[in-house]
Amino acid sequence: MDFGRFTHLTFDCYGTLIDWETGILNALRPLLERHDVATGDEEILRLYIRFEAQQESGEYRPYRQVLQGVTEQIAEALHFTLSPEDRNVLPDSVGQWPPFADTVQALRRLHRRYKLVILSNIDDDLFAETQRLLGIPFDAVITARQVGSYKPAHGHFHAALERLGAPCEAILHVAQSLYHDHVPAQELGFASVWVNRPSRLAGTGLSLPARVKPDLEVPDLKTLADLMKL
Backbone angles phi, psi at 17, to 5 degrees: -95, -35
Would you call 139 a catalytic residue per the annotation? no
Packing angle of the helix pair 103-110, 124-134 (nearest 10 deg): 90
How far is residue 162's CA from residue 147's CA, in Å, rounded to a whole number? 12
- Residue type at position 146: Q
- Residue type at position 75: A
- Residue type at position 150: Y
Q: What strands, in cross-sheet order, belong to the sheet with 171-175?
A: 140-143, 115-120, 8-11, 171-175, 191-195, 216-218
Catalytic residue among 2, 12, 36, 124: 12
User: 209 burial class (0-12, 13-18, 19+ CB within 10 angstroms)?
Assistant: exposed
Packing angle of the helix pair 41-56, 63-77 (nearest 10 deg): 130
How far is residue 158's CA from residue 151's CA, in Å, rounded to a whole number? 11
CB atoms closer than 10 angstroms to residue 84: 6
Residues noted as catalytic: 12
